[in-house]
Amino acid sequence: MTPRILVVEDEKGIQLALSGLLRRQGYEVEVAGSGDDAIRHLNDTAYDLVLTDLALGRGATGMDVLRVAKERRPETLVVMITAYGSEAIAVEAMKAGAEDYVPKPFDNDEIRLVVKRALDRTRLERENRLLIEQIQRQYGFGNLIGSGKPMQKVFETIQKVAETDLTVLIRGESGTGKELVAQALHNRSSRKGRPFVAVNCAAISRELVESELFGHEKGAFTGADARRAGRFEVANGGTIFLDEIGDMAPETQAKVLRVLQERSLFSRNVRLIASVARSPSKSTFASLPRPTEIWKKT
């Protein structure tokens, strides 16, 4: 795509010289004869670069043009043309977001170099950003890496499911990255700014798992000397990941299931993701109404 440049210059001769020079370089060029005219252009059209004189007579100044250009489209490059002795103002313009400045008197080679250098840099940055996004789409989600067809299918499923609020069951043997899949689902969901709470169900004793998940009040049992928030409460607004839910005691699984089915205080603001290393038919969790499943291959 041909870069579009706006030349802002109140002196007709310089305006014609600059616009002609840049058109000969192959750029698409529009001109504005005043700061106010430039602002009208910026309100209507997106430009890759604005080349503006700092002093524009009456009305809006070059600094005003810079400010509006950055407000309308922050990625727009702005190069200032400054009069001799205006270096201090040029520095202020750079601090305000200008890409570069060219002091008067200038020659054509200098203008060509400054404009080309600015556009080349942003082009490379854009291409680099697009390449990174492409690599992430094709070869990995966060810490998940893979380029084979099975992993591509996993990535596609994660992307589709992450955009919903469905309960998810992840199946896979130990060490196959089930928690990484859960984290990727959370990071690509609307809940990404809220907590992600992972619970290793296999590592919590049967006696403590209910207190761990649902918390307890002070005095609820011997040794409960203070109120404790459960993992569901901590995950409020975010995602809770119950890793190896099949290793929970059946009676605890049933309580978790009841909490989910009744959409109780614990679960109505939390998305549940769970994992099992064996067939979900061996887990009470399998009786949830059609959980979405993601299978992570070894």
pLDDT at 7: 95
Q: Which residues pair with 173 in a beta bridge?
A: none
- 1-28: pLDDT as tens digits: 789 999 999 889 999 999 999 999 999 9
pLDDT at 140: 45
pLDDT at 36: 93
Helix (H) or strand (E) holding 227: none
DSSP strand pairing (49-53 vs 4-8)? parallel
Query: Which stretches of the chain are assigned E, i.e. beta strand?
Result: 4-8, 28-32, 49-53, 77-82, 100-103, 140-141, 144-145, 168-171, 196-200, 215-216, 228-229, 239-243, 271-276, 292-295
- 67-121: pLDDT as tens digits: 999 998 888 999 998 876 677 787 888 888 888 888 888 889 999 999 999 999 8
pLDDT higher at 181 or 294: 181
Enumerate residues 6+ apart whose C-beta is below 8 A from 297. 150, 151, 154, 172, 176
Residue 115: Cβ within 10 Å count? 25
Q: Which amino acid, one-letter code, is at 36? A: D
Catalogue all structural domains in the chain, each as residue range(s) with its CATH number. 4-135 (3.40.50.2300), 142-295 (3.40.50.300)
pLDDT at 28: 93
